[in-house]
Amino acid sequence: MLVHPQFDPIALQVGPLAVHWYGLTYLAAFGLFVLLGRAQARRPRFAAAGWAPAEVEDLLFFGVLGVILGGRLGYVLFYKPLHFLANPLEVFAVWQGGMAFHGGLIGVIFALFVYARRRGRPFWEVADLVAPCVPVGLAAGRLGNFINGELWGRAADPGLPWAMVFPQSGLAIARHPSQLYQFALEGLLLFALLWLYSRGPRRPGQVAGAFLLGYGVFRFIAEAFREPDAHLGLLSLGLSMGQWLCLPMVLLGALILGLAARGRLAPVH
Q: Where are the beta strands (DSSP E) in 9-74?
A: 10-14, 17-20
Instruction: Give the contacts of 128 (CB within 8 A, at least 6 positions apart).
Output: 45, 198, 202, 204, 205, 206, 207, 208
Find out whether 211 and 254 touch, Cβ atoms under 8 Å. Answer: no
Find out whether 135 and 188 touch, Cβ atoms under 8 Å. Answer: yes
Find out whether 64 and 134 touch, Cβ atoms under 8 Å. Answer: no
> How far is the C-alpha of 187 from the C-alpha of 193, rounded, in Å?
10
**2-3 and 164-165: which strand pairing?**
parallel
Find out whether 201 and 210 touch, Cβ atoms under 8 Å. Answer: no
> How far is the C-alpha of 233 from the C-alpha of 243, rounded, in Å?
12
Query: How far, rounded to the nearest angstrom, does the alpha carbon of residue 228 sit from its chain's CA centroid?
Result: 17
Q: Provide the Cα torsion 71, 77, 80, 82; round to 10°.
A: 150
**142 is annotated as contributing to ligand binding:** yes
Binding residues: 142
